[in-house]
Amino acid sequence: MAREKVGIIGLGAMGKPMALNLLKGGFEVFAFDIRKEPLEELEASGAHALTCPHSVATHADRVITILPSSRDVQESILGRNGMIATLREGKILIEMSTISPLVTQELAGHVEKTGAKMIDGPVSGGGKGAEEGTLTIMVGGDTEVFEQCRPILMAVGKNVHHVGAIGMGETVKMLNQLLVGVNLIGVCETVGLASKLGVNLEQLYEILRTSAGRSMQLESKMPMIVSGSYDTAFKIDFMEKDLGYAVEMARDVEFPLIFGGLAHTLFLATQAERGKNGVEAMMNLFEAIGNVKLQKSL
């Protein structure tokens, strides 16, 4: 029996391990990235390394895009050497980047004019979740198309949820990012105040992670914040982008986004100097405004 042909465009911190899990899942993988290194690594693992999105969509029946921004996804579909010219009935685009829900809906309109179908399925779980195949995936789109893609989604994720029509996956992802951003600000503020009060940060971490203040951001980010060993897999630039989408969505429905708006402002304030750093570098802003230097203890 022939293996199902799956394309993947974007081999960054999330896309490359997802592609490797697709190979492990028995899919025939066709990959593209603007960088040679991840392409060569995937090719060595058994994938087909191709030269552009158009080529990927020519060879694969299902194509995943997992790219940094709305503009990157638009270019991969509509741009020069984009997929749009080769999409046709029977092909499905699985858009798994974190981008604007409105852009997602607009792109779906272009895709469906070709006879192809599109769903959006942004992911959460970080690089570790991508490597282990345990990502949470929030899917928007037609139910029948979602079910056709379920085996692919289950090869890269553990918690797969169909949340509504096209664009709703991105909407739910924005809500997740809103909580992530607000929680991370809370962790940085707490660590800064604790340090200024002379609290032992290692002991504080052990207490908080078993107390009511516990959160995923606390457990995953506080050790890095206190040690200064930042992970650049998820950058401040990305969080500013995601919170910006949340602010736009709230404005469109006239909902006062108080804490989310403040979190976005703080990430904007940090972005110019530290945008390429991991989100943990937000702590540097609190060190500056609080006139405190963390005592590294974790």
The three-state secondary structure class of 278 is: strand
Reference 87, options 64, 54, 40; nearest CA is 54
Q: Where are the alpha helices (DSSP H) in the chain?
A: 15-24, 36-45, 53-59, 70-78, 101-113, 126-132, 143-156, 168-196, 201-208, 216-227, 236-252, 258-274, 282-289
Reference 136, options 91, 183, 175, 188; nearest CA is 175
Q: How far is CA 41 from the centre of its chain?
A: 21
Which member of 16, 91, 173, 241 is catalytic? 173
Q: Is 276 a catalytic residue?
A: no
Q: How far is CA 70 from the centre of its chain?
A: 12
Distant-in-sequence, close-in-space partners of 80: CB < 8 Å, separation ≥ 6:
none
Catalytic residues: 173
